[in-house]
Amino acid sequence: MHDVFSRLQGRLRHGLATQEILDGLARRGLIFYPYIVFEESPDARFDRAPALEKLNARRLTEDDAEQLATISVRPHGAEAIRKRFRRGEVGVGAFDGSTLVAYTWCDLERFGSIGQKGSRRALADDEAYLYDAFTLPAYRGHGLVPYLRSEVYKLMDAAGRRRLYSVSLFFNRSARRFKAKLGASAVELRLSINLFQRFKRDLRLRRYPTEPPARPA
């Protein structure tokens, strides 16, 4: 009960009261998730804070699947993670010695859709979909995820993937502030609807004015 109360407190603190209601509906099979599609700049770069100088970042491989499964906040086993690599998805992780402490992923084939258990569309050869970033609690607060993001940008730029997309739930203010810190530009406001896996729609509610993503220093 204490864990549930603490989780609720944290969500309220980050402006997620409405999202908490929507998540409650989702657990009952009724998904109504408004979300924003962002475009991120492949030229943005973020340095490590002095407190993180001992960390090393690199591209992940199937050999890292066991560690990824251990620290992931989502219920993915090691074999499911290995399948990501076999599909050509790219993961980048930060390590303290040999210990994985943070990671992020990008898909080169499919643009994900929140709450749909599938993809919204196929990606073009110059596009990538960035998703699933996580940092162990002890390493948070030092800008580690932006640093990892810039490592992803380098890899994608080298691969000719210059149009980089990600999504954030509309009511998650902290996630939207993070995208602003990255210099990401809002592209679309969408609504994902999934009723008991029988009726599924992903609707565009608004297209934002076209602006190139910023390049934060």
Q: Which pLDDT value is given to residue 52?
A: 85
Going 94 to 99 to 104 to 107, the CA torsion angle's sign is positive
Rounded CA gap, 211 and 39, in Å? 9
Domain with residues 2-207, CATH architecture: 3-Layer(aba) Sandwich (3.40)
Q: Which pLDDT value is given to residue 76?
A: 75
146-162 exposure pattern, b = at least 16 Cβ within 10 A, e = fewer: bbbbbbbbeebeeeebe
pLDDT at residue 57 greater than cutoff 90: yes
In percent, the amount of the chain with pLDDT more than 90 equals 61
Contact 22, 126 (CB under 8 A): no
Average pLDDT of the chain is 87
3-class SS at 13?
A: helix
Rounded CA gap, 19 and 25, in Å? 10
pLDDT at residue 15 greater than cutoff 80: no
Span 59-84, pLDDT tens digits: 999 999 999 998 866 657 899 999 99
Where do the domains of the chain lie?
2-207
Residue 167 binned pLDDT confidence (cut-offs 50, 70, 90): very high
Q: Which pLDDT value is given to residue 213?
A: 67
Cβ count within 10 A of residue 30: 13
Q: Which pLDDT value is given to residue 8?
A: 47
